[in-house]
Structure 1
Amino acid sequence: MNEKFVEIINDMADVLNAAQLKRLQEVLLKRLVKDEPEKKMISNQEYLNKFLEAKKIEGCSERTIKYYKVTVEQLLKKVLHPIRKVTTEQMREYLVDYQKINNCGKTTIDNVRRNISSFFSWLEEEDYILKSPMRRIHKIRAEKLVKNVITDEDIERLRDGCDCLRDVAMIDLLYSTGIRVGELVRLNRADINFSERECVVFGKGDKERRVYFDAKSKIHLINYLKSRTDDNPALFVSLDRPYSRLKISGVEIRLRQLGRKLNLDRVHPHKFRRSMATRAIDKGMPIEQVQKILGHSQIDTTMQYAIVNQNNVKAAHRKYIS
């Protein structure tokens, strides 16, 4: 779109509604661009490819990019016309149908909404469309459930249930640092400072931060590394040759197996992160410091972990009120 085109649209934005602006855009495109050399039409798939490339440059993880790809591709299978002609009403219908067909909850459908919204926002920012049809489709509020955390007793059972030094070290590091599973598998031996009991991790967007582990984690990490006979720089590797770097799926599968073996409910990497954050807040650590440890850019994200222990509420009432 040339400058004059954008200026006209902006000038009329205050007096025309969305449908009228869209019609104006189509007329201007037809009348102002008809004499220009014909431009190559961009397909919906090409728009998606450009979007994914942009997200990759922004530093999104492969997992996030894959999620964007799957979500938007599902939408494109239903959209049989150019993506720039999609309306808000069509998007609402799509989300309603998606929820019915897949029988998914509010949290899942909101994740779909957020990914699609990100795609259309990018199209708008790049001037491929005039206005995102997702602007008026707001966050889908789900019932907030208090999620279970890993108790001290559960941790002891998990340690005892491990049949290798690697798994004990991995569990302790997750529980004491609260790092993401993606950060765990990227760690190298050289990233660990045993004297200071700290390590450097690279979080979302390759942001570097320091996290800290306890004495138990230190001992179990040292024992695990001493038992290693390979020269792989990765901190955690597979148990069998060729001793390759452990992947996210490998950690998830191992923890799930341990949980089932010990009859513990839903043991997964993020549960350790949530447990560490909840424990820290419960013991009085300032929320800003918990935010720093977890690597959250927004404190609202950290607040989701602030599950207040009812016993502490009772003690606080007796201290300050009674």
Structure 2
Amino acid sequence: MDTLNIGEQLLSEIVVSLHELLPGIDFNKVKNNLSGILAHYKVEHQEDYKYESDFPDKVKLFIASKKIEGLSENTLDGYKRELRLFSNAVNKKVEHITSGDIRVYLGNLEGRKMSTIGKKLTTIKSFFSFLLAEEMIQRDPTLKIKQPKEEKRLGKSLTIEELELLRETCKTTRQRALLEVLYCTGCRLSEICNLNKSDINMQNMSCRVIGKGNKEREVYFSYKALYHLRKYFLERPDQNEALFVSERRPYGRLSNKGIQREIDVIEKAANIDKKVTPHVMRHTFATLTLNNGADITAVQELLGHSSPETTLRYARITEERKREQHKKYLVQ
């Protein structure tokens, strides 16, 4: 349909609508007046700007490039999910998306934390930056959009007393072994999920894990963790290579959700006033080791962080530790 016909169609639809609302109006006079106004504008049908199949295709290319960079499947799934939500909300071809579209999308996310909105914007920025670099678009609509200010909150971690309470609450050898491994290694949930029994060097009390960006690092086990792992292995009736498996046949590898459910059971039984997750155990590892005098660079390496700033966001120095450091290092 050419521009002239589209304009005529729009004019007719407007006049008919007005005639239904105001039956006494002069149909021809209104049409002539509107025709003179619309003559100064270029009118295009909405279908020309409607969301088309180029968005999924471009997302596939973006995901493929990120996969080559070594990003984990969990991260890639997160990118896919966020970009699908964004494309469904905007409903336009990629090249027609504007800064205003993105601002409206983010502004409609009522009740979301600034950190959540910031993560969504980061994904969108990464996507459009990729498209611009690959010369698939002529401009990046995210360039003028600033990251929202995030609330500065201390990372959640358990106290020594709360950690001991969780330990005492464990009812099975699997629960206790899982809790100890999460705490002493400071590993991410996905890293624990992917571990095998053969990965652990019992003599050196360590193992190597594959973290974000496909980076390999060595983590270490405590005597408690190895003790409870050995007890757990002896009780297992299966031959599965996975470090943690389901309790029922066919004894498959314990999934991310399965690990979280097990931690939820421990938390509920302990009845502590905190939400306990594998990530909270990671925070706890960072906080307690730093408060006990560990070097920030060493903790950074153990957690697999690229910078010490990230590690500091995970850890909270206690008042006692700050007071101790003040007394020890203040020049009198």
- TM-score, length-scaled by structure 2: 0.80
Q: Of 58, 79, 90, which residue of structure 1 is paired with 2:90?
A: 79
Structure 2: unaligned runs, 5 residues or longer: 1-51
Indicate the residue corresponding to 1:180 in structure 2: 188
Contact 2:90 2:101 in 1 (8 A): no
Mapped partners of 2:66, 2:81: distance in 1 = 14
- TM-score, length-scaled by structure 1: 0.82
Q: What displacement does 1:66 show?
A: 1.8
Mapped partners of 2:187, 2:305: distance in 1 = 11
Indicate the residue corresponding to 1:267 in structure 2: 276
Contact 2:244 2:253 in 1 (8 A): yes
Q: Does 1:300 align with 2:304?
A: no
| Deviation readout 1:269-309 (Å, 9 max, x if unpaired) | 00011110111222222211111101112332112124221
Q: Of 314, 320, 324, which residue of structure 2 is paired with 1:315?
A: 324
Q: What displacement does 1:42 show?
A: 6.6
| Alignment RMSD (CA, Å) | 1.7
Q: What displacement does 1:321 show?
A: 4.9
Mapped partners of 1:86, 1:227: distance in 2 = 58
Q: Percent identity?
A: 35
Indicate the residue corresponding to 1:190 in structure 2: 198
Q: What displacement does 1:236 show?
A: 0.7
Q: How many residues are treated as equivalent by the alignment?
A: 279
> Tell me, what secondary structure is at the counterpart of 1:200?
strand
| Deviation readout 1:142-190 (Å, 9 max, x if unpaired) | 2211233112222222222222111111100111110111000111111
- Decide which moves more: 235-244 or 59-68: 59-68
Indicate the residue corresponding to 2:48 in structure 1: none
Q: Does 1:138 align with 2:121?
A: no
- Decide which moves more: 64-73 or 269-278: 64-73
Q: Of 256, 268, 283, which residue of structure 2 is paired with 1:248?
A: 256
Query: What is the identity, as a one-letter code, of the residue corresponding to 1:127?
Result: E
Contact 2:300 2:311 in 1 (8 A): yes
Query: What is the identity, as a one-letter code, of the residue corresponding to 1:159?
Result: R
Indicate the structure whose relative CO is greater, using CA pairs within 8 Å and at least 6 residues apart: 2
Mapped partners of 1:162, 1:284: distance in 2 = 29
Query: What is the identity, as a one-letter code, of the residue corresponding to 2:303?
Result: L
- Decide which moves more: 264-273 or 222-231: 222-231
Q: What displacement does 1:54 show?
A: 2.2
Structure 1: unaligned runs, 5 residues or longer: 1-40
Indicate the residue corresponding to 1:212 in structure 2: 220
Mapped partners of 2:238, 2:212: distance in 1 = 29
Q: Does 1:161 align with 2:169?
A: yes
Mapped partners of 1:122, 1:128: distance in 2 = 9
Mapped partners of 1:109, 1:297: distance in 2 = 23
Q: Of 236, 241, 246, which residue of structure 2 is paired with 1:238?
A: 246
Mapped partners of 1:280, 1:128: distance in 2 = 48
Mapped partners of 2:92, 2:234: distance in 1 = 61
Indicate the residue corresponding to 1:114 in structure 2: 122
- Decide which moves more: 223-232 or 131-140: 131-140
Mapped partners of 2:122, 2:242: distance in 1 = 34
Q: Of 47, 50, 74, which residue of structure 1 is paired with 2:58?
A: 47
> Tell me, what secondary structure is at the counterpart of 1:211?
strand
> Tell me, what secondary structure is at the counterpart of 1:304?
helix
Q: What displacement does 1:138 show?
A: 2.0
